[in-house]
Amino acid sequence: MTSPESADVPFLLRPAQPADLPVLERFAAASAYGITTLPPDSAVLVERLQRSAGAFTTEDAASGEEIYLFVVEDVASGAVVGTSGIAASAGFADRFYCYRNEYVVHASPPLGASNRTHTLHLCHDLTGVTLLTSFYVEPAYERTLAPQLLSRGRLLFIAQFAERFSDRIGAESPGLADDSGRCPFWDAVGRRYFDMDYPSVERLAVGRSRSFIADLMPPSPIYVPLLPEEAQWSIGQLHPVGELPFSILLDEGMDPDTYVDIFDGGPTAHARVAQLKTVAASREIVVAGIAESASHRARGWQLAASARRADFRAVLLPGHARGRSLELGAQAARLLGVQVGDTLRLAPAPVATQATAGDRHD
Amino acid sequence: MTEWTIRAAAPGDLVLLATLLPAPGQDASLMPAGDRERLLVAARPGADAAGAIAGCVRVRPAIGRDRPRYWFHVGCAVHAAPELGLFHQQRTLVLGNDLTGAWEIADLACDRTGLDAAAQQAVLRQLLRAALAEIRRQRAEQAGCGEPGTTTVFCELPGVRDAAGQSAFWFSLGRHFYDGDPQLAAERHGPAWKTYVAALLPREPLLVSFLSDAAQSALGAPDASVALQAQLLHEAGFRRGRHVTIDDAGPVFEGEIDLLGARATAP
């Protein structure tokens, strides 16, 4: 049984620390498929943790090469139960490739015929946009509020430190592949250029930049009707492991239909940062007071994040604050590391009603 | 071996010509269009009446100037990355009007039921020779008028079809862009149908590896029904160039007029 207090603030989002390596290794092993920014390789994870710690704490202006890794803790147990990340600038110092869905219409009046043909164009449109990456939550927590905090909490971070990010945002999602790594999109497209299977090219891509591989792909568009049906159908289709984070990003208002991954055909969602639901609705408020015990349970949830970069914290609080100030419960204030007079960034959390703090005990 | 009389087609030949040639299309005639197009027929010696046509050939000067003509250029793309040990060479198809302005020899056909193989060969060889002579004659005329004129001559042949008349190349490529029946369209519009269908085909380069195996092997191969024409064009010095027809990937034989016909004109 959880105490009423811990149920008020069930999860805490914070920057990942070097000490989180073992748990990230466990997540990386469990998510071996599809999340290239969370590879099951300790050396890579150590390096990413170091880069992330530097990005959170540096006094320097942002260069675009920063990555930010977050973890979410179950407040009741103190256990880390998920992770998410941000890459400040996609393809930093290089190009970020994707296929853009386009439709060309050709007509032949003498034949009385016209066609609308789906084509995929290799493009660099998303180079430099901020990327949401590395999402993983333990299966037991998928139906709790943890994924909501993991995904939307980092949007408050971006909103708070907008000068460190692009005004556009993207998120790659894994495309369709079976357990052996067979990927219909790759087999129909990439394999024609590389003569290697998808797991092999994924291994190559981890070791070097993906753009190195993409540079070898022909610049002419793919005429989708010429692909096998299975591959056509897989364009923009999501691997089931990506459904949860993807659904949150769609709810935020990201466009899932314009771009797909050049390797597996998975959807690459994108949006203007300012138009994301959480960012648009977010605002700064001042902590007006701290109550010993949390106020009575209100309906709904709101995201609250500290305005500090180095020791950024975000939580979900019950209720919806109005006005320019807020009275926090003592536990929330302690978790956020704020005192009376500090600034918080607040946004309503549009979470489904069945996702409650207590579900994890089911 | 019979020598045939080669002469310009006359309106009285049309009934027999229609049995040798594909339909000219709506509101069109088999008879030559324009001042310089020629339709030559091989007539049986001494015969001048209908019933005596053994074959025909058409010469078109400076094609594609009134109605754009399209072919696929068969090119090559190499994906190489020494670091990856990758060297991948493959063929590409690019839609274009490359042969615009060239001379065309078309409709090289003979009576395949009334003539034995040797006679078919003889009449086709003689028609081809006459077509080349006609081109040389017109070029000499042009030179007299100070027109430089092109030296390229080409001849398209039908690509591989199955027993039902279907092309694997069309099935793999064209039908995705035009869902009508290509044979009906060809009968209705005549040769112009290729110009019309080109408007629906991909404008950007295609990798041949995206086509079916059957379509890939059909690329540039003549249909069995025109094996004799292919052989005679080769004998005359024509070679399959880098182009194929856009509907069935039939071969486009190309040559330079000054280098053509030496063997074909030999006795």
pLDDT band at A359 (very low <50, low <70, confident <90, very high): very low
pLDDT given for residue A179 in this prediction: 80
Answer yes or no: is pLDDT of A207 > 60.
no
Q: Kindly tell me if the per-residue pLDDT of A1 is higher than 50.
A: no
Per the CB < 8 Å rule, is B177 touching A192?
Answer: no
| Confidence (pLDDT) at A355 | 46
Where are the domains positioned within chain B?
5-265
pLDDT of residue A217: 81
Q: With an 8 Å Cβ cutoff, are A227 and B210 in contact?
A: yes
> What is the per-residue pLDDT for A229?
94
Winning range, highest mean pLDDT, from A39-48, A181-190, B171-180: B171-180
Residue A362 clears pLDDT 50, i.e. is over it: no
Tell me which of A44-53, A199-208, A302-311 is least confident: A199-208
- What is the average pLDDT across B88-114? 93
pLDDT of residue A266: 94
- Catalytic, A118? Answer no
Residues of A in contact with B189 (CB under 8 A): 110-111
Instruction: State the pLDDT at residue A194.
Output: 79
Residue range A102-106: average pLDDT? 94
Whether B209 sits inside 8 A of A107 (CB atoms) is no
**Does the pLDDT at position A353 exceed 60?**
no
Q: What is the mean pLDDT of residues A240-267?
A: 94
Phi and psi (nearest 5°) for A341?
100, -15
Mean pLDDT across the stretch A87-115? Answer: 91
Q: What is the pLDDT at residue B95? A: 97
What's the whole-number mean pLDDT along residues B17-36?
Answer: 86
- In which band, very low, low, confident or very high, does the pLDDT at B263 lie, cut at 50, 70 and 90? very low
Which of A108, A101, A114 lies closest to A221, judged by CA? A101
Point out the catalytic residue in the list A124, A239, A320, A361. A239
Calpha distance B263→A37 (Å, rounded) = 68
What average pLDDT score do residues A99-121 get? 95
Q: What's the mean pLDDT in B123-150?
A: 88
Beta bridge partners of A67: A87
Q: Which CATH number fits domain A4-101+121-281: 3.90.420.10, 1.10.10.350, 1.10.10.10, 3.40.630.30?
A: 3.40.630.30
Most B-contacting residue of A102, A105, A106 (CB-CB within 10 A), to test interface = A106
Q: In what order do the strands lie in the sheet with B86-96?
A: B5-8, B38-43, B53-60, B103-110, B152-156, B251-256, B239-244, B71-81, B86-96, B206-207
Query: Residue B222 has what pLDDT?
Result: 97
pLDDT of residue A314: 97
Do the beta carbons of residue A83 and residue A71 sit within 8 Å?
Answer: yes
Confidence class for position B200, pLDDT limits 50, 70, 90:
very high
Q: Is the confidence at residue B251, as pLDDT, over 60?
A: yes
Å between B197 CA and nearest CA of chain A: 7
Q: Check if the beta carbon of residue B19 is closer than 8 Å to that of residue B12.
A: no
Q: How far is CA A119 from CA A144, A361, B61, B206, in A?
A: 39, 47, 38, 12
Q: What is the pLDDT of residue B51?
A: 56
Mean per-residue pLDDT, B1-9: 83
Q: What is the pLDDT of residue A238?
A: 93
| List of chain B residues whose C-beta atoms are within 8 Å of the C-beta of residue A226 | 172-173, 176, 206, 210-211
- The answer to whether B259 and B239 are in contact (CB under 8 A) is no
Contacts of B84 in chain A (CB under 8 A): 194, 204
Predicted pLDDT at A357: 47
Domain chopping of chain A, boundaries: 4-101+121-281
pLDDT, position A213: 75
- Determine how β-strand B38-43 pairs with β-strand B5-8: antiparallel
Closest CA to B110 of B53, B159, B154: B53
Mean pLDDT, chain A, integer: 88
Q: What is the mean pLDDT of residues A118-142?
A: 93
Residue B266: pLDDT band by 50, 70, 90 thresholds?
Answer: very low
* Cβ contact, residue pair A216, B86, below 8 Å: yes
Per-residue model confidence (pLDDT) at position A319: 83
pLDDT tens column, A77-91:
999 999 999 999 987
Mean pLDDT of A310-324: 89
**Residue B267 clears pLDDT 60, i.e. is over it:** no
Rounded CA separation B60/B131 (Å):
10
Instruction: Share the mean pLDDT of chain B.
Output: 90
The answer, yes or no, to whether residue A316 has pLDDT greater than 50, is yes
Instruction: Using only the alpha carbons of chain A, give its radius of gyration.
Output: 22
**Secondary structure percentages of chain B, helix, strand, coil, to 5:** 35, 25, 40
pTM for this one? 0.87
Asked which of A200-204, B120-124, B174-178 is least confident by mean pLDDT, the reply is A200-204
| Residue A103 pLDDT greater than 90, yes or no | yes
Supply the pLDDT for residue A284. Answer: 94
Note whether A111 contacts B201, CB cutoff 8 Å: no
Average pLDDT over residues A197-217: 72
Query: What is the ipTM, given to two decimal places?
Result: 0.85
